[in-house]
Structure 1
Amino acid sequence: MINKKDKGFTLVELLIVIVILGILATVTVFAVRGITDQGEKNACKVERRTVETAIESYYAQNQSEPTSEAQLVPDYLKEAPSNVTITYGATDTVTPTISTCPV
């Protein structure tokens, strides 16, 4: 008679594999979170530069600073910026300020 052995994984082996997969999943989640945060910061910087360029273009054509985002939208920006507001500095120069971005 031939000895028949049970083939398969033990409970300990399965638990070790599950723990290893859990560790890999945790590392992946934290890595993706860092990439997402960096992407948001870069998007805010780009939006700020876009508004600064629009303000410079407005000034070049009108010889005055815009007083609101609405003056920039029809000709200089596709839509009103969601994270940038225009505030005036101490010397009455237009300074775009990031209001809600994590920069």
Structure 2
Amino acid sequence: MKNEKGFTLIEMMIVLFVVTILLLITIPNVTKNQKSISEKGCDGMVKMVQAQIQAYYIDKQSFPTSISDLMDEEYLEENPVCPDGSQIHIKEGSAYVEKNTSD
């Protein structure tokens, strides 16, 4: 017989088995933590909008009354929306989240 180098069928099956086990461990953890991931993404978006409100205040000496004020003055490129679809609004110089009620 020739000495051919390569993977045997058994080696390939062992690799597939290990990959399958890793996927079975990983996927439930990601889906279980999806809500927490979404909340942290939304918190980050609110903090980013709040920073733009402060920049607007420094430049204009007044707070914006709505997100559209920030967009019109190019402090924001687009309307900020949380990963779960919740809208971010401004009231009295602070950003807050209006939860999506379609859930």
Q: TM-score by structure 2 length?
A: 0.59
AA aligned to 1:53 is: A
Identity of matched residues, %? 26
Q: Alpha-carbon deviation of 1:28?
A: 5.6
**After the TM superposition, which parts of structure 1 deviate over 4 Å for at least 4 consecutive aligned residues?**
none
TM-superposed CA distance for 1:29, in Å, is: 5.2
Equivalent residue in structure 2 for 1:72, among 56, 63, 70: 70
Aligned to 1:87: 91
Deviation at 1:40, TM superposition (A): 0.4
Aligned position for 2:4: none
Between Structure 1 and Structure 2, how many residues are aligned? Answer: 73
In 2, distance between residues paired with 1:28 and 1:65? 45
Q: Structure 2: which 5+ residue stretches go unaligned? A: 1-22, 82-86
Say what the alpha-carbon RMSD is for the aligned residues: 2.3
Which of 49, 69, 78 is the equivalent residue of 1:51? 49
Q: Decide whether the 8 Å contact of 2:53 with 2:94 is kept in 1.
A: no
| TM-score with structure 1 setting the length | 0.59
**Which structure has the greater CA radius of gyration?**
1
Q: Give the distance between the partners of 1:60 and 1:28, measured in 2 at CA.
A: 46
* Mapped pair 1:37 → 2:20: no
